[in-house]
Amino acid sequence: MKIERTGMLLILSGPSGAGKGTLGKMLLEQDDSFCFSVSATTRAPRPGEVPDVDYHFVDDRRFDELIGQNAFLEYATVHGNRYGTLRGDVENRLRHGQNVLLDIDVQGAAMVMARMPEAVSVFILPPSFTELRERLVKRGTETEEVIDRRMANARQEVGQMDIYQYVLINEAPPEASFLKLKSIVDAEKLRLSRCTVTIDD
């Protein structure tokens, strides 16, 4: 008996500071069937971010060129910067049976879901908006004005979580939340629509 699986596209979304990046990294570290889709962005790198590993950092002119080439599966403007998921990279990995993780905002996720309805979507919530602000402040990378804008956007994003298949509250420690995410992933790997089963006589 043999089971062959097609690649799974997993979308993680949630407000900035909710912890989707942390959970995504834990998944990549503990499940080698997943690879990370590196997005293109016009924002500047944060401390510790590595070009072409965390993001493809491009200027506005190059981003416009990629749009003109229909190179994006989705793209959106978030917090004044543009982000896009490269279509060819994702489709090629899925064809070869790899699972692909997308860490994207609500706007982009909605576009991907419309184009790829087989995608698995999980919305990551913070325990509270108070906790979310504290996390953003602790980063020490944004001004108070930017934090206020992120908080306003967070409330709008939470209002759109009903387009997702799953919702997960990311409480400390993240290990407990990760186990919930892993349960979702493990169940989705067994979905019959992703499997071809060959039964020997």
The string of pLDDT tens digits covering residues 114-144 is 989 999 999 999 999 999 999 899 887 888 8
The pLDDT value recorded for residue 20 is 92
Neighbour count for residue 170 (Cβ, 10 Å): 23
Q: Which residues pair with 101 in a beta bridge?
A: 10, 36
What is the separation, in whole angstroms, between the first and last Cα of the chain? 9
Please give the Cα distance from 39 to 103 (Å, whole number). 9
State pLDDT tens for residues 48-100: 999 988 899 999 999 999 999 999 999 988 778 999 999 988 998 898 889 99
Cis peptide before 15 (omega within 30 of 0): no
pLDDT digits 0-9 by tens, 156-199: 999 999 999 999 999 888 999 999 999 999 999 988 888 777 88
The confidence score (pLDDT) of residue 172 equals: 80
pTM confidence score: 0.83
Antiparallel, parallel or unpaired: β 72-78 and 81-86: antiparallel
Q: In terms of DSSP H, where are the helices of 44-86?
A: 60-68
- Tokens coding 44: 């500047």
- The pLDDT score that the predictor gives to residue 37 is 86
Q: Calculate the average pLDDT of the chain.
A: 91
| Edge-first strand listing for the sheet containing 166-169 | 34-36, 99-103, 9-13, 120-125, 166-169
Rg (CA), the chain: 17
Domains defined along the chain, listed by start:
2-198 (3.40.50.300)
